[in-house]
Amino acid sequence: MSDQPLSSSVPKPKEPIYKKWWFWVIIVIVLVAIGKNTEEKKQTTSPAEQSTQEQQAVTSAEETTPSQTTPSETTYGIGDVVKFDDSKWIVVAAKDNGSILKSNNMFQKEASTDGKFITVRFKVKNLTKTEDRIMDTPKLIDSQGREFKEYDSQSFYIPEGAKTLTLEALPPSMYKEFYAVYEVPSDAVGFRFQARALSAFGDKILVNLGF
């Protein structure tokens, strides 16, 4: 019997694939290709899609921002004609009266305030075909956005024979002149008069009074 060792028939174990250098080269190439494809999709977004995305972003921002009722930007001054669909307005003059207002009759005492009184003289023309009246009269707005309504007793402190706008008749196609008096804080400046359409909840436009 031969003393030579028998040759082994057991196969040699194979090296795991993740230990092969070419396996990791392929992984790197695939990852680079995926990244490049994603970047190309971002760059090839159409203008319409970009516009839609921008608009959605703006809408989202508006939805999360508290609504504001600040009137339109001031684009008019004293003497300018401010036109609405149903009326025309002209601020003729405005005056800072200080802290004292003199009465227009002997039975009413002068008015005083810790702030100051502002008087505005203006005209309104009704452009409709029917007589109209205004219940929500114009406000005065200062540089801080504070709104002031007409002084309650203003009819006693405007020139004798003059009128305030409150519930006054506005015949069609005629300019009517009115006065408004406002009591404001002493530090208030940058006054703007709020001209408005005759219709309820109508448009409003600010007129810069110049002080």
- CATH number at 101 reads 2.60.40.1240
Residue 7 lies in a domain: no
Weakest-pLDDT range from 8-17, 62-71, 140-149, 181-190: 62-71
Pairing of strands 87-101, 111-126: antiparallel
% of the chain residues with pLDDT over 70: 70
Q: How many CA atoms lie within 13 A of 100 on its CB side?
A: 3
pLDDT for 85-141, tens place per residue?
Answer: 999 999 999 999 999 999 999 999 999 999 999 999 999 999 999 999 988 899 999
Residue 186 lies in a domain: yes
Residue 115 is predicted with a pLDDT of: 98
pLDDT at 57 over 50: no
Tell me: do 119 and 183 sit in the same domain: yes
Count of helices and strands (H, E) across the chain = 2, 9
What residues form DSSP beta bridges with 126?
87, 172
Q: Which phi-psi region, left, alpha or beta, contains residue 72 (left: φ > 0; alpha: ψ -120 to 50)?
A: beta
**Domain range holding 100?**
76-208
- The number of folded domains in the chain is 2
Residue 69 lies in a domain: no
